[in-house]
Structure 1
Amino acid sequence: MSPEEYLLPGGISINALPKISLHDHLDGGLRPGTIIELAEAIGFALPTTDESDLGQWFADQANSGSLVEYLKTFDITCAVMQTVEGLTRVAREFVEDLVADGVIYGEVRWAPEQHLTRGLTLDQTVEAVQAGIEAGIAAAAEAGHSIKIGQLITAMRHADRSLEIAELAVRHRTGGVVGFDIAGAELGFPAHNHRDAFDFLAKAFLPVTVHAGEADGLESIRGALFDGRALRLGHGVRIAEDIVVGRQDADDNTYVTLGPVAQWVRDREIALELSPSSNLQTGAIAAWGDDLLDHPFDLLYQLGFRVTVNTDNRLMSDTSLSKELALLSDAFGYDVDDLEVFQLNAAQATFLPLEEREELADAIVAGFEGV
């Protein structure tokens, strides 16, 4: 089935524009039909075996206003990703779906420690996912599409295996791994709990992104920057808590004051991996409102932060990168030039070597010039 097409005013297809995906969870991007087939093979009970109804169930469950409740949907997706066959198939289809959405480079993040219940080793899970990625890339090439994919190996912040997972990531850096991530329940599980892992990664020069500023605020972001040496912030939307917007005088002129954390993130061009639909679902923007118009995305963009647009979990949010860009365009009046800025921001923030980042930027520019 072809993905839904999203258009800018003037009829420009967002789907056809070259895009970069930085924050996209493997276990959050399964096709409902694949879940049903894999669950049947292992005897795992689902809420429904109707493909359409199952997709709607995930969207409804995820739309809770709580990150903790949102994360419970992953009990099902992870359950069907415990074998080589399951992991490889999900990874291959993941790449195929990115290609269909116009993505030319993607970083897929996932937590190997959550895929060991049927006897796989950590290394076997990484190899299985890489096999699926390579199969997806090869299928895309045969169809005339070019895409590159890198793995972000994720450790769960509520667990105590982060050093082991960091070592796993470094071990596979020549086999598809481009960086490391910490994810899971944020509040109450600070980055400094994983300082040994971050120290190891720093010594190995493996780039790090950290989920921060989603379910917790500025202290979590501070921890990601100080303890994690994060080059990107996973979501990071609550950096807006460190920004004061006020009225300066009787003429209603406004002023903006950045606190020290926001100033650092902006001035150092640390990318924000913003995921608009997900941020609404998990309550990450509750301090500002419950509508996309309330999202601080536009404030951060106008102030010069390196904002990027992401899906987070395409299944749970019933979304795609094209849809997220369309939603932002509708909410804030963005045009094709704005969308190009977001993609160039993402190109510069990838965990690729400089030369490859420049090649991505050139591809973005060429693709947008062609519309």
Structure 2
Amino acid sequence: MHLTRARIAALPKIVLHDHLDGGLRPATVIDLSRELGIDPPGTDAQQVADWFHDAADSGSLPSYLSTFERTVALMQTAPQLRRVAREFALDMAADGVVYAETRWAPHQHTEGALSLAEAVQAVQDGLDEGVAAVEAGGGRIVVGQLLCYLRHLDPSEDLVEIALALRAAGPREGAPAASAGVVGLDLAGPEAGFPASRFAAPFARARAEGLRVTLHAGEADGPASIADALDTGAERLGHGVRLVEDLDPAHGDALGPVAARVHRERICLEVCPSSNLQTGVAATIAEHPVGRLHRAGFALALSSDNRLMSRTRTSRETSLVAQELDWGVDELEQVALTALANGFAPAPLREALAEEVVRPAHAAARRQL
């Protein structure tokens, strides 16, 4: 039976790829803009939402990324960062998400005189507040943060030091048990022309210290960029969808060397379909690589990437793909469990969600069909 959007939305979601500065509420954009004396890009929430979506709907990654100048400018003080992080946790829970990692680049948030460590702590405080509010309302969610280096900046080890200080090592004093702290590191920003290997030293140290690593690759560049990210220590790939260029359609989508490596090592692809349409990876969901990659047996997770710029949520992304590819409960459960297995929060938190939330919800959905 074809699953309706309502049935899909009711299933628990796992989010591995969502940018903190790409998910501000339109009303929050208005509030923070006015606090700073900046004209918001609209007089009401609908106009703001339309402006961001239209500006990001450019067909290229650099143009898409330019919209973040607006949101980053609103996230330069501890109260601003704390508010956006708190609302992230609340909005994820409202969308049926039970596990979420939010990623952001602290180096972009020090213009208001915050140190990198103070900025990261402000985000953590907001996430803690959001998780506590979800739990107080009877909900359940595990949340962690990923700290992003930016490809076009110089490599450093400062984020490694901060991640080690706030790493996800179990419950922290005064914080909800489900607020996992810093769960890993990422590399974001313009991909073409800025190889991940420039950051080999900090990521090698991160891996040696037991920190988890996911790198953006295979979004605005092809298989060579993916191979470079893997050589730099990537355990997951942010997007990774241009891996499809290493599949040979003339021979049943036979795997080339990079694709074979990703498949063999079960590297999870953090797929975000709507943002990929905006940056030119594909023109429609039907043409998006997710279908071919799924049929070829790659490990996939579905996420929202930038909810403001793409005017989306993870439940919407899941519905778009599931309805286009005619996925049923089994496929949706597989994707959710794959995402959860590849999360970076402590294993006991993720395993409890799998056994107590994800599997029972999908079993119930099967019985209702």
Cα deviation digits, residues 270-312 of structure 1 (max 9, x gap): 0000000011111123xxxx11111111111111100110110
1:235 aligned partner, one-letter code: H
For residue 29 of structure 1, the aligned residue among 23, 29, 36 is: 23
Please list every run of at least 4 consecutive aligned residues from structure 1 whose deviation after the TM superposition is greater than 6 angstroms.
none
For residue 244 of structure 2, the aligned residue among 240, 248, 251 is: 240
Aligned to 2:120: 126
Aligned to 2:176: none
Q: 1:58-69, aligned counterparts within 5 Å?
A: 58-69=52-63
For residue 74 of structure 2, the aligned residue among 80, 83, 92 is: 80
Aligned to 1:231: 235
Is residue 272 from structure 1 mapped to residue 295 from structure 2 by the alignment?
A: no
d(CA) in 1 for partners of 2:2, 2:66: 35
Aligned to 1:250: none
d(CA) in 2 for partners of 1:8, 1:121: 51
For residue 225 of structure 2, the aligned residue among 213, 220, 223 is: 220
- Per the TM alignment, residue 360 of structure 1 is displaced from its structure 2 partner at its CA by 2.6
Is residue 259 from structure 1 mapped to residue 263 from structure 2 by the alignment?
A: no
Aligned to 1:203: 208
Aligned to 1:340: 333
d(CA) in 1 for partners of 2:6, 2:27: 31
8 Å contact 2:187–2:216 — kept in the other structure?
yes
CA gap of 1:152–1:233, structure 2 versus 1, over 3 A, is: same
1:274 aligned partner, one-letter code: V
Is residue 323 from structure 1 mapped to residue 316 from structure 2 by the alignment?
A: yes
Aligned to 2:167: 173
SS state at 2:53 partner: helix
C-alpha RMSD of the superposition: 1.5
d(CA) in 2 for partners of 1:34, 1:10: 31
- Per the TM alignment, residue 13 of structure 1 is displaced from its structure 2 partner at its CA by 2.3
Moved more, 198-207 or 180-189: 198-207
Aligned to 1:3: none
**Which runs of 5 or more structure 1 residues have no equivalent in the other structure?**
1-6, 248-254
Cα deviation digits, residues 32-76 of structure 1 (max 9, x gap): 110110111111232223211110010001110100000011001
2:306 aligned partner, one-letter code: N
- Per the TM alignment, residue 152 of structure 1 is displaced from its structure 2 partner at its CA by 0.4
SS state at 2:200 partner: helix
d(CA) in 2 for partners of 1:191, 1:83: 29
SS state at 1:207 partner: coil
d(CA) in 1 for partners of 2:328, 2:317: 14
1:339 aligned partner, one-letter code: L
Aligned to 1:194: 199
1:47 aligned partner, one-letter code: P
8 Å contact 2:149–2:188 — kept in the other structure?
yes
SS state at 1:48 partner: coil
2:271 aligned partner, one-letter code: L
SS state at 1:301 partner: helix
- Per the TM alignment, residue 218 of structure 1 is displaced from its structure 2 partner at its CA by 1.1
Aligned to 1:361: 354
d(CA) in 1 for partners of 2:136, 2:350: 24
CA gap of 1:246–1:365, structure 2 versus 1, over 3 A, is: same
CA gap of 1:64–1:267, structure 2 versus 1, over 3 A, is: same
d(CA) in 2 for partners of 1:340, 1:264: 25
For residue 85 of structure 2, the aligned residue among 91, 96, 99 is: 91
Cα deviation digits, residues 156-176 of structure 1 (max 9, x gap): 110014422222222221560
8 Å contact 2:299–2:338 — kept in the other structure?
yes
TM value normalised by structure 1: 0.92
